[in-house]
Structure 1
Amino acid sequence: MNFTGKNILVVGASSGIGLATAQLLHVDGATLYTASRHLPAELAALSPTHFTYDATQPVGTALDGLPEVLHGLVYCPGSIKLRPFERVPVEDFQADFELNVLGAVRVLQACVKRLKKAEGGGSVVLFSTVAAAVGMSFHTSIATAKAALEGLTRALAAEYAASGLRVNCLAPSLTDTPLAAALLNTPEKAEAGAKRHPLQRVGQPTDLANMAAFLLSDQTTFITGQVLAVDGGMGKLK
């Protein structure tokens, strides 16, 4: 895909899926803007215009250096806290909602005017989880937050369709990222995680990066309001 001349912001680009997405967009010629709390060497090597930003905080002036026109926005911050429901304090539900939903809301409100100015329509990519559609034990907090994000996706897609701005969401299953390290940190856990998927492997950050780039591209200008599973078949197959 060719993103030459396209301004794209990746929030949460310091590791995992966000970093893989930023790396792919860089290779494909995007003018890359990134926002995260840290600027690791792998991200700095891409020479993006980087903003230091914590997605749980108000945007304020943190993103004021963005260009007048944004062609794409990817919001990648996420969390994984798997516990029995009776051991999940309300504060954990609030923290997951703050990061996954309100963080996206804050960034989108700061960027939507720029996205609407994109010729041919801008594109937003958000991230849910397979657990929002498939009941999974110990996922109550994150599934609740991500289900709200899916509702946000559809509502925004409807509200901005007339302006050509597309909003879609990806729903991964277990993906081999630093965020999921504790779930894959032994050969036994890795094997068990792979066997839960019909395709017999866990996801890789590039699996999600490739789909995010596809949704940002001019090849998907007739796709909006969708929650697309990138889950090795886990959500639909036995």
Structure 2
Amino acid sequence: MKTTIIIGGSKGIGKAVLQNLILHSKVINISRTAPNLSHKNLIHYSCDVLKDQLPNIELADNIIYCLGSINLKPFSRLSLEDFKDDFEINVLGAIKVIQAYLPILKKGVNPSILLFSSVATKLGMPFHASISVAKSGVEGLVKSLGAELAPTIRINAIAPTVTNTELASKLLRNDKITTSIKERHPLKKILEPKEVANMAEFLISDKASSQSGQIFNMDCGIVSFKI
């Protein structure tokens, strides 16, 4: 049975990933709040990844870093602190975790790392400057580490569009706005956390053993199609 470290598995996409994996894998979740579920395959550490010392873990085969932010403001209202905060959550936090657990990951079975980007890195959208900068950093990290860690460790990222999570609740704050967002996507839908979790589960599995350094768009067609 493989062991996966999930950073941020108490809510949103992270929780959906956790719920998938505990059915067949050991999961070590690290987040400020505990998931509102228990399972024989789940271990939780309460920890602020950005501020606290990471827990000592002796064995792991995968790392999935799910922490992220949605900080949408006009460029004129974005402070340098906004850019720094988004970069810290999305990039520096991931670097801290990977550096801390890389020695044990190298000893794992077909080890892999999975990060999260955003369609905002490929599709220019107003008010997305800070998050686009941060997620572009995530994609650069995936490409660079993919080359550096090959052939021992694979690393990929998923770039979702708007997903029906608590983090996106301000975007999906009423039916009219939700319908409008659906209509802008060629597949006329909002991405669900379970869909992203299924992709995550595939990418850390042996079924994806030839995939590394890749950014997988889950965009409901908004980046891929012009309809």
Pairwise same-fold verdict (TM > 0.5):
yes
Report the counterpart of residue 146 of structure 1 in structure 2.
135
Determine if the alignment matches structure 1 residue 104 to structure 2 residue 113: no
Identical-residue share of aligned pairs (%): 39
**Which residue is 2:25 aligned to?**
30
Gaps of 5+ in 2: none
1:210 aligned to which of 190, 194, 198: 198
CA distance in structure 2 between the partners assigned to 1:115 and 1:7 by the alignment: 10
2:78 is aligned with 1:67: no
Letter in structure 1 aligned against 2:137: A
Cα deviation 1:162-210 (Å, max 9, x = unaligned): 3x20000000000000000011120101101111111100100011100
Distance 1:186 1:179 in 2: 15
Counterpart CA distance in 1 for 2:165 and 2:83 is 22
The 5 Å alignment of 1:84-103 reads 84-103=74-93
Superposition TM-score, scaled by structure 1 size: 0.92
Q: Which amino acid aligns with 2:184?
A: R
2:10 counterpart residue number: 14
Contact kept, 8 Å, 1:126 with 1:170, in 2: the verdict is yes
Q: Does 1:56 align with 2:58?
A: no
Which one has a larger percent helix, Structure 1 or Structure 2?
1
Q: CA deviation at 1:63?
A: 1.9
Check whether the contact 2:25–2:41 (CA below 8 A) recurs between aligned residues: no
Q: CA deviation at 1:40?
A: 3.5
Aligned Cα RMSD in Å?
A: 1.2
Amino acid of the residue matched to residue 30 of structure 1? S
CA change 1:16–1:46 in 2 (3 A) is: farther
Q: Does 1:180 find its partner at 2:146?
A: no
Shift in Å at residue 45 of structure 1?
A: 5.1
Contact 2:10 2:36 in 1 (8 A): no
Unaligned runs of 5+ in 1: none
Q: Paired residues, what number?
A: 226
Q: Aligned with 2:124: secondary structure?
A: coil
Q: 1:134 to 1:46 in 2, by over 3 A?
A: farther
- Which 4+ residue blocks in structure 1 deviate beyond 4 angstroms? none
Shift of 1:53: 1.5
Structure 1 residue 55: Cα displacement: 2.5
Q: Is the 8 Å Cα contact of residues 197 and 232 (structure 1) preserved in structure 2?
A: yes
